[in-house]
Structure 1
């Protein structure tokens, strides 16, 4: 039965979309009427709930008759006019990234500025290595709603296709045609909202987080997804990074997945990292590859996503937050890549190039979604130095939603407001972001960055997310003052010796006085004396006496008692001794001596 399920899915032709997103005003198939799945089968088999907007399966061209070819450098044999990569924001090419196979649609700007020493070329549409299923010759291979900017000395290759752009085009673009069209992205503008709603629906449904059918266990150097063995839709919810405890690579493995099932992995959380070595070039020997065309990785809430490692990442990706930034540096993405935010295609900081998006369809059956999905927006706090505006990492914030009807935020008591998610620590850009439903929110700073004072008050808001501002989100800046530099302190070290022999003298007692009255010399009495510092100090067996933790300034020593058999000096006051920035660390050493007293108690010479 499961085998029959696979055969049915592989051979169908999409003729209708019963998912509610199909009611959108955006043309589902702006490139034409023909729409086929992975094969050219009978036209009477309908999909219950595919991705919105007609995204996912192959659009003829000449679609492969079954699963797409494995990653290869063979000549192009098949043609697929579906969108393989969609970005609701910008698409940036950095590092040593090499190519994006298939059709690419970007509502914002396309910006290519690769690293010095990297290959100057980035391929769009047809790739040197990939599934080798390319768009039709002469069709739009890259479409942008903004500018196309290619850095000096670099080249964008879409040689047999069209680059259609709404903004300006600069730099070297090698294409059959480069067309300026103010309405270039208009047919696809509605996809952003549809994908945002779909991503929320797949993960959260209409009654909270969607019920998982399987388990995701993180540990032992891998994340193991274990299905229930029967459901046609296998749902997994992941609320952790797919990376080792130290942030390194780990494996991804699926078990107990029935033949032909759709696999939906909801990766929850506002920041997520996938760092894996799993997935390979050889489809025959890598079991993860077998799930490729029916595996969807869904990030409904993430505003920061990083997909890295050394694996050929398998499956399609959906990122549903408009304010999201996704960085891709794995060697290959093997599946559709749809984000309502921005993409940076780059290479690993540790070296190695040739990163590629490969053109593979998604033909799975997904959950049905209501016609009025929850609208979400983003709330962001930017932490900065109050003096110079520099971004500050390491500040910890809690996000609270107004729920108790009392003005302002209440974080304790009998009826507090509601805390949203776990505390967030500002990143290298000094930012914390969260995807939230419409409502009123407050950021509460609970820990300042190192070296800074916690502001007072430490609450920032209200931030009101409405339908009108949900797309761009709501932002607030929180500034911190640096802690005052600690007052520098110094020390005064007394060394007492016999004036004749140089022998250390124990038992000499000193008072320390700080110059405070502005009159030269030491005044210990009267209406305005100088200030005595602490208790007296007696020299030890080494003749040493130390006064520590002294503020910078001017001091006097007053000797009040001498060792037995020695004469009190006259005058008994020495100084001034000055502690400064330059000598405070080492301190000031005062060397004093006493002479023996050669008279007896009656004043007679001994």
Structure 2
């Protein structure tokens, strides 16, 4: 059986049914376990233990040399909703399964990488090479300029993939199907661990918050130590700041179950350390923090948090900003790793197993359930995809739905209608509310977006649904505003002119591009093609086409801004303005660019350059502000010989600006070369400039040899010099010795 299939079998419980050995589920075979302990009851689907094959025993403390000390194909992180990477979060060790979207958009200015599977610091027990490191049910999105690193592993995604991702990428619409059932099973288990027949599970110990710490004191004998906490683990005397976490009177090999009750909970702690000398670390593999109800969970502080985490509310949002999470992490909702609004740096998930003995939570009698659904249609009865709904359950005994306040109803799920226009959820009997939160594109929200419906036990088999019709938004009047660039002499269209489109927005006549209240920029720059045209589809208004670079060989116009007015009346035909440019006189000077590989000195194709002329009398190049220099050429791209050039240039000072690099290369630290002076004394009326680029990951240092290699070479050079000096000294003595 392949490593992937082994893990999938474990994840859905097949391993248990197949008679997996006790060691495979992390059972204690040492003989030290108390005789009174009940038979093992692991997490649903056999989650928790290391998948046998190459599991270290025991798991090592946190290491940072990046060298694996074993392999573990178990799921380390599970998210029933979405998984988001924000702030300065850096890595998630072990296998990561996400039923929803994976979205990476880190804080600007920091390390823009995020590792999954294999990491630089952690237990150093990653998944097997070639296994699934990241699995998603929907999209994988990595922001521009960032990288998701899954080297030696597989990223198996059910939806689209956008951005830079390493590893083996596999598009599989059914990627998360083997794990879909885990969400409900984990929710049921979380409730079972916290409650027995609707009442809190009997505790075996106490939890006392004294401000600087919360002390969990067990009974000293029970193999399952149960603590129920209905409060935040924070220091109330220090503005809910950090506090310690300590356990006492916990028998050897006992399992610790901490039920953290409440609708919103925060743990803010400095406890747990990198070294296993920290007392809290000793409980890591048999400690479970269970949040059965919380819709909002915040795990903050500066500690290396110890133990596994289970979050049972499928509508929950969890934010993790602790430097390290050491244990399994299973949430049926969504999780955000790192935060740009909370302190922290380089947050990490570390892969450690859970091997505890939990309460038996068998399936019990099957609950009565049925489908509650909503059908979204347009005014003609056609199904509408893209409507977003929340499903809420009536739980507070007040008439109607309450979504906010001290005692709101309970949010059950979120859903976006598909091609059939439907959202549906299997639930127990009760009163529910479908709440439309976003209408499909081009449609209005209903005046009352809340739709109640009641599911009864008698009607559960048939289910209950509601139909919601949306009205299309009035279509705005639009038309095209265009600029046509032509040769002033012959009227021929000109390619290569660069324009910006601005909309009159500040009530001041004419175009203002700077200051505290400029007009509104519309879209990106546009470069005229062979037909000499740039155009945009816009709503009625006053617009300005602003020429920022003339075609090669042409002078910029004296007035680079042209005004166009689009009205409801002329919108069907559109409005076009023509801007002529005058060709530069024949001759003139030239700037020639040669682009090379910094290491090999070979020419490089595909680098792009702009040319700017010194025009404002201020030293150096200014490309923005109230009085910039003049851009007179753009988009010059090097050919197979690494060359591109600008010609027909008047005397003056120029700057070459590199705007794009060949694939696999990085921009120079300073992409500006200049000033380059063209005058009567310039040989051949041409200034040649060479610009070198280094490959991504190459050393950007003056000496190719550095570090230990350079030190050894320097020592050898010193030894050679000493030998040479000794030889010269002997020759001198021999020459001075008197002959007999």
Tell whether the structures are fold-level matches, with TM greater than 0.5. yes
Query: Which of 271, 285, 292 matches 1:300?
Result: 292
Alpha-carbon distance between aligned partners in 2 of 1:345 and 1:228, rounded to the nearest angstrom: 35
Q: 2:154 aligns to what SS in structure 1?
A: strand
Deviations 1:221-274 (A, max 9, x none): 211111000000000000000112122111111111111100000000111011
| Deviation for aligned residue 1:282 | 1.1
Which residue is equivalent to 1:72? 63
Which residue is equivalent to 1:224? 215
Query: Which of 85, 100, 106 matches 1:114?
Result: 106
Alpha-carbon distance between aligned partners in 2 of 1:210 and 1:142, rounded to the nearest angstrom: 35
Structure 1 segment 27-66 matched on structure 2, within 5 A: 27=14, 36-37=24-25, 48-66=40-58
| Deviation for aligned residue 1:442 | 9.9
Structure 1 segment 17-416 matched on structure 2, within 5 A: 27=14, 36-37=24-25, 48-66=40-58, 68-74=59-65, 75-175=67-167, 177-245=168-236, 246-284=239-277, 286-347=278-339, 349-372=341-364, 400-401=396-397, 408=399
Which residue is equivalent to 1:8? none
Q: 1:305 aligns to what SS in structure 2?
A: strand
Structure 1 residue ranges (4+ consecutive) displaced by more than 6 angstroms after TM superposition = 22-26, 29-35, 39-43, 373-377, 434-437, 460-463, 465-469
Alpha-carbon distance between aligned partners in 1 of 2:84 and 2:335, rounded to the nearest angstrom: 6
| Deviation for aligned residue 1:118 | 1.8
Deviations 1:460-516 (A, max 9, x none): 9967578989xxxx9xxxxxxxxxxxxxxxxxxxxxxxxxxxxxxxxxxxxxxxxxx
TM-score, normalised by the number of residues in structure 2: 0.48
| Deviation for aligned residue 1:371 | 1.4
| Deviation for aligned residue 1:439 | 5.9
| Deviation for aligned residue 1:183 | 1.1
Q: 1:401 aligns to what SS in structure 2?
A: coil
CA RMSD of aligned residues (A): 3.9
Contact 2:52 2:72 in 1 (8 A): yes
Q: Which structure's CA Rg is the greater one?
A: 1
| Deviation for aligned residue 1:424 | 4.5
Alpha-carbon distance between aligned partners in 2 of 1:266 and 1:350, rounded to the nearest angstrom: 25
Alpha-carbon distance between aligned partners in 2 of 1:170 and 1:231, rounded to the nearest angstrom: 51
- Over 3 Å counting, the alpha-carbon distance change for 1:86 and 1:372 in structure 2 is same
| Deviation for aligned residue 1:208 | 1.5
| Deviation for aligned residue 1:28 | 5.0
More relative contact order, 1 or 2 (CA 8 Å, 6+ apart): 1
Q: 2:265 aligns to what SS in structure 1?
A: strand
Q: 1:354 aligns to what SS in structure 2?
A: coil
Q: 1:201 aligns to what SS in structure 2?
A: helix
Which residue is equivalent to 2:665? none
Alpha-carbon distance between aligned partners in 1 of 2:323 and 2:369, rounded to the nearest angstrom: 33
| Deviation for aligned residue 1:348 | 6.3
Alpha-carbon distance between aligned partners in 1 of 2:93 and 2:254, rounded to the nearest angstrom: 26
Alpha-carbon distance between aligned partners in 2 of 1:103 and 1:233, rounded to the nearest angstrom: 28
Alpha-carbon distance between aligned partners in 2 of 1:365 and 1:312, rounded to the nearest angstrom: 23
Alpha-carbon distance between aligned partners in 1 of 2:11 and 2:169, rounded to the nearest angstrom: 30
Alpha-carbon distance between aligned partners in 1 of 2:19 and 2:130, rounded to the nearest angstrom: 14
- Over 3 Å counting, the alpha-carbon distance change for 1:351 and 1:198 in structure 2 is closer
Alpha-carbon distance between aligned partners in 2 of 1:301 and 1:121, rounded to the nearest angstrom: 33
Q: 2:396 aligns to what SS in structure 1?
A: strand
Deviations 1:310-336 (A, max 9, x none): 111100000011111111000000000
Contact 1:302 1:435 in 2 (8 A): no
Q: 1:293 aligns to what SS in structure 2?
A: helix
| Deviation for aligned residue 1:365 | 0.1
Alpha-carbon distance between aligned partners in 2 of 1:442 and 1:424, rounded to the nearest angstrom: 18
- Over 3 Å counting, the alpha-carbon distance change for 1:257 and 1:298 in structure 2 is same
Contact 2:101 2:140 in 1 (8 A): yes
| Deviation for aligned residue 1:31 | 13
- Over 3 Å counting, the alpha-carbon distance change for 1:227 and 1:118 in structure 2 is same
- Over 3 Å counting, the alpha-carbon distance change for 1:120 and 1:32 in structure 2 is farther
| Deviation for aligned residue 1:434 | 6.2
TM-score, normalised by the number of residues in structure 1: 0.59
Deviations 1:205-229 (A, max 9, x none): 2341101010111123211111000
- Over 3 Å counting, the alpha-carbon distance change for 1:320 and 1:465 in structure 2 is farther
- Over 3 Å counting, the alpha-carbon distance change for 1:424 and 1:221 in structure 2 is farther
Which is helix-richer, 1 or 2? 2
Alpha-carbon distance between aligned partners in 2 of 1:287 and 1:424, rounded to the nearest angstrom: 41
Alpha-carbon distance between aligned partners in 1 of 2:218 and 2:234, rounded to the nearest angstrom: 21
| Deviation for aligned residue 1:27 | 4.1
Alpha-carbon distance between aligned partners in 1 of 2:124 and 2:253, rounded to the nearest angstrom: 24
Structure 1 segment 422-437 matched on structure 2, within 5 A: 424-425=405-406, 433=410
| Deviation for aligned residue 1:368 | 0.4
Alpha-carbon distance between aligned partners in 2 of 1:348 and 1:50, rounded to the nearest angstrom: 36
- Over 3 Å counting, the alpha-carbon distance change for 1:124 and 1:32 in structure 2 is farther
- Over 3 Å counting, the alpha-carbon distance change for 1:31 and 1:309 in structure 2 is farther
Which residue is equivalent to 2:674? none
- Over 3 Å counting, the alpha-carbon distance change for 1:185 and 1:65 in structure 2 is same
Q: 2:149 aligns to what SS in structure 1?
A: strand
